[in-house]
Amino acid sequence: MFQYEPFRDSTEHLNDGETLRTRLGEDGYLFLRGLLPRDAILNVRARLLDKAMEGGWLAPDSPVAAGIANAAAACKDPEPDYMSVFRHLWSDEALHRLRIDPRVLALFDRIFGERALAHPMFVQRNIFPQSDVFDFTTGIHQDRVHIGGATSYAMWMPLGDCPREMGTLAVAAGSHTTGILPTRVGSGAGGMDIAVPIPGTWVTGDFEAGDALIFQDVTVHKALPNRTRSIRMSFDARFQKLSEKMADTNLVPYSGCGTWEEVYAGWSRPEGQYYWKDLPIATMPLDRSYYEQRDAMAFEMAEAGDRSARDAILRIVQRDPLPEKRERAEKLLVRLDAG
Ligand SMILES: O=C(O)CCC(=O)C(=O)O
């Protein structure tokens, strides 16, 4: 059983870059209350809930604002049913502006002691309630294998109030000092879970709209299961020093959401579009060796009929750049689904 300690709250040090850096160095994370105004978050929440309602994700007989899930529509990234609704949520202009809010950028400038870069790519998550037949709880992992480049930091924010039982994030405080840990095929987001005992102390807490959790790319973390009836909505964006290299995969929109032109097509005003175009960004290729290792394991498991590899196989079908690999994965998916 996991035991959770409460987050160490760093809100009172919000304007003190040196203390924030020290705490990040000690714990691998920062928990900050009210980084963004509650109203700004609730506005984005309302916009996304309208799109979720249109897409059939919400219970038709309850108020949209409650965000109660339509259990029959439960789906997950990157299933086609999920993506067809999600791409409208991800493209939301008010959502995109949150990660480049001046309060957020100034915070990372202070933490780094130099100019921060917000990665153009970011994630928005919609986690349907856990049930006997559905579970998409994010497993224990590190972000570095997915994000690549120089050291980066995630900012995770729920889009609304998020008590623990709705599936908040938990981090293993102090786990950022042991480098990249061995992985195995996982079933939650990213599909790559840590395969060894976790160093550090698990911490978590209840979030209110506007609270932020910041953590390093090697800090081990996971989500708690969503045991409510509502969809847990959140977003996570990544930040690094502008002077350091960013993996080129962070320059494109979220996979399955089209081109930047398509993302921006429905916006009412251009503010926040292409904000990185005039910045002196140096890029490098993503080190794909971790994905290659995961995929080799997933192929082996799927070939042996192990359905726990299904999410990883689906990811290859939807997202792998190599056509022959996608084709192999497609055949295996059909076989797995035929039982
Ligand atoms: O929101 C989640 O379930 C996972 C978030 C996460 O793993 C991250 O922000 O790196």
What pLDDT, in 10s, does the model give residues 211-259?
Answer: 999 999 999 999 999 999 999 999 999 999 999 999 999 999 999 999 9
Mean pLDDT (whole number) for 22-32 = 98
| Alpha-carbon separation of residue 33 from 10, 26, 83, 131, 190 (angstroms) | 8, 19, 31, 31, 27
* Distance of CA 237 from the midpoint of ligand 1 (Å): 10
Contact between 222 and 140 under an 8 Å Cβ cutoff? The reply is yes
What is residue 284's predicted lDDT score, i.e. its pLDDT?
Answer: 98
Residue with tokens 């080190």: 287
* Interval 69-89 mean pLDDT: 97
Distance 269 CA to ligand 1 centre (A): 29
pLDDT tens-digit readout, 246-301 = 999 999 999 999 999 999 999 999 999 999 999 999 999 999 999 999 999 999 99
Q: Which residue's structure tokens are 């609730």?
A: 42
- Residues 208, 140, 22, CA angle at the centre, nearest 5°? 65
Choice from 76, 125, 130 to test ligand 1 binding pocket (greatest atom count within 8 A of CB): 125
Closest CA to ligand 1's atom 7: 222
Q: Write down the pLDDT at residue 157.
A: 98
Q: Mean pLDDT, to the nearest integer, of 40-61? A: 98
| Residue environment code for 285-295, b if the CB has 16+ CB neighbours within 10 A, otherwise e | ebeeebbebbb
* pTM of the predicted protein model: 0.96
According to the model, what pLDDT value does residue 297 have?
96
**Of the candidates 76, 323, 121, which has an alpha carbon nearest to the alpha carbon of residue 223?**
76
Percent of the chain scoring above 70 in pLDDT: 100
Residue pair 216/28 in contact by the 8 Å Cβ criterion: yes
Contact between 56 and 85 (Cβ < 8 Å): yes
Q: How many A from CA of 287 to the centre of ligand 1?
A: 20
The per-residue pLDDT for 115 is: 98
pLDDT at 58: 98
Ligand 1 first shell, C-beta below 6 A: 125, 127, 138, 143, 154, 156, 169, 189, 221, 223, 234, 236
In the reported structure, the alpha carbon of residue 264 is separated from the centroid of ligand 1 by a whole-number distance in angstroms of: 25
Q: Which distant-in-sequence residues (6+ apart) come within 8 Å of 314 by Cβ?
A: 78, 79, 329, 333
**How far is the centre of ligand 1, averaged over its atoms, from the C-alpha of 152 (Å)?**
14
- The CA distance from 249 to 271, in Å, is 23
Q: Whose CA is nearest to atom 8 of ligand 1?
A: 236
Inform me whether the pLDDT recorded for 187 exceeds 80.
no
Cβ neighbour number for residue 106 with a 10 Å cutoff: 14
